[in-house]
Amino acid sequence: MRLWNELSYFTCWISHQARLCTPPTRLCTPPTRLCTPPTRPGPALYSTHQARPCSVLHPPGQALLCTPPTRPGPALYSTHQARPYSVLHPPGQALLCTPPTRPGPTLYSTHQARPYSVLHPPGQALLCTPPTRPGPVLHPPGPVLHPPGQALYSTHQALYSTHQARPCSVLHPPGKALYSTHQARLCTPPTMPGSVLHPSGKALYSTHLTVPGLIQPICFSTRLLTRFSLSPSFLSQDIRNTVGNIPMEWYQDYPHIGYNLDGKKIFKPIRNKDELDEFLDKMENPDYWRTVHDKTTASDIRLSDEQVDLVHRLQKGQFGDVNFNEYEPSVDFFTNEVMIHPVTNRPQDKRSFIPSLIEKEKVSKLVHAIKMGWIKPRKPKETTPQYYDLWAKEDPNAILGRHKMHVPAPKMRLPGHEESYNPPPEYLLTEEERMAWEQQDAEDRKLPFLPQKHSCLRAVPAFSRFIHERFERCLDLYLCPRQRKMRVNVNPEDLIPKLPKPKDLQPFPTTMSLVYIGHSSLVRSISASPTGQWLVSGSDDCTVRFWEVNTGRCMKTLEVGGAVKSVAWNPNPAVCLVAVCFESTVLLLNPGLGDRLVVSSTDQLITSYEPPEEDKEQAVTWALSEGPEHDNGHRLTLTHPKAVKQVVWHGKGDYLASVMPDNSSNLQVLIHQVSKRRTQNPFRKNKGLVQCVSFHPLRPYFFVATQRYVRVYNLIKQELTKKLMTNCKWISSMAIHPGGDNLICGSYDCRLAWFDLDLSTKPYKMLRHHKKALRGVAYHKHYPLFASGADDGSVIICHGMVYNDLLQNPLIVPVKVLKGHQITHDLGVLDVTFHPTQPWVFSSGADATIRLFT
């Protein structure tokens, strides 16, 4: 059964083939027809060449001299199967065959694999014009066959097959010694040695492998060649010159032109025709038009009528054979109808009916394997997943270690009202908001979508970003780092420190009680008298005013020669002196207020001065005032070399320090002794621009505040004791606690630094109460209070308790924010000072007023 199947299959296939084939007659087309490209050369022609359909068959020898073989087909070319690319040219078409017009790719289109070995028809001597396209096809460099004589031609087939492997073997005109000397000129030395057939057909020459170009005649008896019959047509062909198809000009310098078949020289005609002879010939000879010159023999040949006729026919593109009918009806080689019977009539082989033993063995093996259960039928693939109770034996404790670290993904946020398809109208965006929404970046938008209102459910469109949002969620799930974030869940009230109530820390100034009005420009500095009855103020309107504290009355106004930078009342209650500085002058005034005894004793003190015997050169000049100035209260004038910014008294009231800020010299601070009218410069070096200075209330210490640091000097030992780092950008003011162990610094960068000198050189507390630059700070003499005034127009009173117990840190509590000063020219409060005995604070401001808060 199986066999039959195969057979029938074969049958079908054959019949199929049959349809493709063209009738055998087609094979026998005359050679001329081959010059035109075969329309269907492929499968049709070479149906037997199944494996390699590319061999093209040239029907050999059809031309004039031989009749075409009727069925050269498979039998003739059976040897070609192994080498489909050898093309056989009909030999001996000598005279009549014109070179193929398109010998190239068209002709050999079926030579797909190796289209280039082409055999040139030998001996086309006379009529053959050089081919127009000789290139790769027609003139393969090597294999040119020299027609050495007719005997050779019969062996064509054998020769050709040998030519395949060695394309460059050249056939030698045999026999003569003479000829072999020509060989060197005739051909280029063969690159590959080859075998050459002797023209007699009896022997074969083979070039020597090791000596290319030198041909050693080695004779082989070639019995194999005898099987080719020598066709009489080849013998009868008239070949006079045996040099072959070579350029004849090679023989230019010789008297002969080649060799005939017997090996004799063919001599050129003695006299060549010149132009005149040619012309005469042309004019006179009636056969001139049919005379052609044979280069190989150098003779003129007159073409016969048949030949001329043939040339004419070929020129017209007709077949050379007159009798050939090119329009014969085509008969299929195989019928195009599917046949039920095989093409071959061969009876089936016996083996087709005998079961195969090998197959039986194989089958029995398989059967055994199936029986043993080694081979099982393939299970059908399951496409749907199988579900079962995965958590049948769930053990909540069997959690992998990493699950402890696992942070579950946060859930999607639930939608709010604004996401509704029909939201309340207040959730819809106004036109401006919509515009703003559209212009925002997608990341900045508070809502990722535009709230929309639809009148009914059927009007709701698809949400265009649905897949996007799902995808983004996916990205979040696998790309976002997860972290447990501690949400600060504190009550803001808990953050506020628990401080003692200001009520419990009384007394402190709470309300503004008096405003001292009189100055016309900003009041730079104020100072209260040690008794607390008087207040002195210096202003930019070049006046110093004395006020009675309790009434707010201006007792006295003194004009001075410049804007007053600083005023300081002598802290000694037994002396009534006020230091005033303006420009480069420090003026000591006796205001004449208060106890007359004190006033007179002060005057006495000043006049009782006796100049020392030897006058020392001093940095300042001390001058005693006289005349109207003396009546005004001027007592002493200290003229400094530079502008003075600040004056400050020592606690005892005899020493006075003045500050002349100058970044370039060491002469910045001067200490004056009033009783001896002596001045000294305590510093040898410049340590930076001095902002303010101050005396220690009890010990002989001197505080100098530069831009960023406060230096504490011991005046007796004359050395630097401490350097305090304020952490401020620019110190504006400084005050020392009456106890002497604490210090506050106000700075222009809104900070107030409290230093505990026993604790550290860094601030104990940094207070940022003010919004603008601090201008003045002050301690109260008796109460645990300190005040700071700033450009924001407020004075902040803080409770600053310093304990005697060294273990307890100072307690600082802000108790009151006092406001009242107007801000003029971006300046608010310029100076603050406490009342010496009462818990009152004075503040002077840029609005030309002084205010008293009680």
Distance of CA 444 to the CA centre of its chain: 27
> What minimum distance in Å lies between the beta carbon of 511 and other proteins?
4
Which CB, 227 or 417, lies closer to other proteins?
A: 417
Contacts of 328 (CB under 8 A, 6+ apart): 25
* Least distance to other proteins, CB of residue 440, Å: 12
839, 852 contact by CB (below 8 A) = no
Q: Which is nearer to other proteins, 349 or 389 (CB)?
A: 389
| Partners of 523 in beta bridges | 539
Q: Distance between CA atoms of 736 and 744, rounded to whole angstroms?
A: 7
Q: Supply angle C-alpha 278, 280, 285, rounded to 5.
A: 95
Q: Specify the 3-state DSSP secondary structure of 694.
A: strand
Q: Which is nearer to other proteins, 275 or 443 (CB)?
A: 443
CB-wise, 431 or 615, nearer to other proteins? 431
Distance from C-alpha of 348 to C-alpha of 358, rounded to nearest angstrom: 20
Of the two residues 252 and 489, which places its CB atom closer to other proteins in the complex?
489
- Other CB atoms closer than 10 Å to residue 693's CB: what's the count? 25
Residue 705, H or E segment: strand 701-705
Distant-in-sequence, close-in-space partners of 838: CB < 8 Å, separation ≥ 6: 532, 854
For other proteins, which is the closer residue by CB, 513 or 557?
A: 513
Residue 427 or 683 with smaller CB distance to other proteins: 427
> What is the rounded CA–CA span in Å between residue 132 and residue 713?
120
C-alpha span between 624 and 634 (Å, rounded): 8
**Which tokens sit at 498?**
């628990």
* CB 834 to other proteins: min, Å: 19
Q: Please say whether the dihedral angle defined by the alpha carbons of residues 474, 475, 477 and 478, taken in this order, is positive or negative.
A: positive
Amino acid at 776: G
Nearer residue to other proteins within complex by CB, 308 or 499: 499
Cα of 663 vs its chain's centroid, Å: 54
End-to-end CA distance of the chain: 131
Comparison of 274 and 426: residue with beta carbon closer to other proteins: 426
Toward other proteins, which CB reaches closer, 259 or 853? 853
Of the pair 357, 479, the CB lying nearest other proteins is at 479
Q: Which residues of 43-66 are buried (b: 16+ CB within 10 A; e: fewer)?
A: ebbbbbbeebbbbbbbbbbbbbbb
Cβ 647 vs Cβ 679: under 8 Å: no
Beta carbon nearer to other proteins, 76 or 766: 766
Q: How far apart are CA 233 and CA 95, in angstroms?
A: 13
Shortest Cβ 765–other proteins spacing (Å): 9
- Quote the least distance from Cβ 451 to other proteins, whole Å: 7
- The CB-of-547 to other proteins minimum distance in angstroms stands at 19
**Least gap, CB of 756 to other proteins (angstroms):** 17
CB of 5 to other proteins, least distance (A): 20
8 Å CB contact between 740 and 699: yes
- Give dist(CA 239, CA 255) in Å, integer: 20
* Minimal distance, residue 375 CB to other proteins, in Å: 15
In angstroms, what is the minimal distance from the CB of 360 to other proteins? 24
Question: Min. distance of Cβ 507 from other proteins in angstroms?
Answer: 16
- Dihedral (C-alpha) 458, 459, 464, 466: value to the nearest 10 degrees? -40
Looking at the Cβ atoms of 165 and 436, the one nearer to other proteins is 436
H or E, element range at 3: helix 2-20
Q: In the complex, what is the shortest distance from the CB of residue 421 to other proteins, in angstroms, rounded to a whole number?
A: 5
User: Closest approach of Cβ 610 to other proteins, in Å?
Assistant: 53
Neighbours of 676 (CB within 10 A): 13
Residue 487 or 825 with smaller CB distance to other proteins: 487
What is the CA 22 to chain-centroid distance, rounded?
66
Residue type, 350: K
Residue 399 C-beta: closest distance to other proteins, Å:
5
Q: Which of 125, 114, 133, 196 is nearest to 162 (CA)?
A: 196
Residue environment code for 121-146, b if the CB has 16+ CB neighbours within 10 A, otherwise e: bbbbbbbbeebeeeeebbbbebbbbb
